[in-house]
Amino acid sequence: MTAIEDAARTVRDTGGEFRAGGTDVMTRATRPPVDLLGIPGLRGTTWGPDGAARIGALATVADLLADDRLSAAYPALAATAAAVATPQIRNVATVGGNLLQRNRCWYPRNTALACHQTGGDTCPARAGAHLYSAVIDQGPCIAPHPSSLAVALLAYDATVEVHGRSPLGVAELYGDGGDPTRDHRLETGEILQAVRMPAPAPDERAAYRRATAREKAEWPLAEAVARLTLDGDTVATAAMAVGGAARTPLLLPEVAEALIGGPVTEETATAAADLATARCSPLPGNGYKVALLRATLIDTITACGKTS
Ligand SMILES: Cc1cc2nc3c(=O)[nH]c(=O)nc-3n(C[C@H](O)[C@H](O)[C@H](O)COP(=O)(O)OP(=O)(O)OC[C@H]3O[C@@H](n4cnc5c(N)ncnc54)[C@H](O)[C@@H]3O)c2cc1C
């Protein structure tokens, strides 16, 4: 039995939970941790002949930032990584753990309360404290997804390798947000092995922006990644993804499509961002997030237009 199979079986047999960097799981652990750090083959970045990167799941967020080739090929992934948490956390937090971390809603973390996430039949955040909750409503639970790297990976059209099954698109990794008990679609004992990035197009550009309640060490209230190719001044292809807004990291195809065929200006960025706000249905206490999402999208798109 390989080390990866052994770890998977241990999690299934003991009802445990994998631990990579441990920065998320150890803040809420009620199940025995099963370490992934010693498993060979899950680290490092390798490159295909076409210039596509394969990033091991145990690469740390700091490893992404230290890799000049990665930063040059995928600048918005690097910008996203640079904004995550603090230097201390980035040094231990892994790519796999970042993608599979649990949401930060305070209700399921309080064992005295029941909610949809913990097998209850209500969402206390809807009637209660929802200052940070999702503004794009995908189902019973309104905890926004916490992974920033996932937003970049969606915009880059990355896939993930999961031991024992075919690669999954990042959107598939998260599903439609309709199951309140899950932050991702991996089953117990499944191990994310690597992220596969597509080779960047020669004239591709990308940008990342976020809005936060404090400058550092905070999950964003809204974040966005834009990835564009331009033919002269005209947008030829576009991808747009947002985080902090919904139960899953989310691609916004209507925003991307609105950009195609025109120049990147404040006006076109604003018109495209308005399509995102049309999706929003905020609660009484988090309407401010709609304005932040809109401003973040405009900022990200215009920044992307200026990047070369
Ligand atoms: C102050 C603060 C600010 C933060 N700000 C941000 C932010 O802005 N954006 C952001 O994205 N994150 C943010 N974080 C969260 C941080 O990035 C995550 O805690 C970290 O990325 C998790 O990685 P880890 O390796 O420590 O995961 P772990 O805690 O080890 O694991 C997390 C989860 O993933 C599972 N897991 C881990 N690796 C694998 C694998 N290879 N296969 C299967 N399952 C696996 C574990 O079982 C566990 O359920 C912040 C954290 C703090 C404390």
Amino acid letter, 204: E
What the block records as the tokens of 221 is 């209230």
pLDDT per residue as tens digits for the range 205-230: 999 999 999 988 999 999 999 999 99
| Cα–Cα distance measured from residue 5 to residue 10, given in angstroms and rounded to the nearest whole number | 9
CB-defined site of ligand 1, < 6 Å: 17-25, 36, 57, 84-85, 89, 93-94, 96-98, 100-101, 146-149, 191-192, 217-220
- How far, in Å, is the centroid of ligand 1 from the Cα of 236? 35
Question: What integer pLDDT is reported at residue 296 of this predicted model?
Answer: 98
Angle, helix 288-306 to helix 266-277, in steps of 10 degrees:
140
pLDDT per residue as tens digits for the range 266-302: 999 999 999 999 999 999 999 999 999 999 999 999 9
| Cα–Cα distance measured from residue 123 to residue 176, given in angstroms and rounded to the nearest whole number | 18
Domains of the chain (ranges; CATH) run 3-104+146-196 (3.30.465.10), 204-306 (3.30.390.50)
pTM, two decimals, is 0.98
Question: What integer pLDDT is reported at residue 308 of this predicted model?
Answer: 63
| Cα–Cα distance measured from residue 202 to residue 194, given in angstroms and rounded to the nearest whole number | 24
Residues in Cβ contact with 274 at an 8 Å cutoff, skipping those fewer than 6 apart:
294
Below-50 pLDDT ranges, the chain:
none
Residues in Cβ contact with 170 at an 8 Å cutoff, skipping those fewer than 6 apart:
99, 150, 153, 154, 157, 158, 159, 160, 249
- How far, in Å, is the centroid of ligand 1 from the Cα of 148? 10
Task: For 104-121, give the DSSP string.
Answer: --TTTT-TT---GGGT-S
Mutate which of 17, 98, 221 for ligand 1 pocket (most atoms within 8 A of beta carbon) = 98
Q: Which atom of ligand 1 is nearest to the CA of 90?
A: 17
Q: Whose CA is nearest to atom 33 of ligand 1?
A: 101
- How far, in Å, is the centroid of ligand 1 from the Cα of 64? 15
Question: What integer pLDDT is reported at residue 30 of this predicted model?
Answer: 83
Nearest Cα neighbor of 162 from 184, 205, 197, 191 is 191
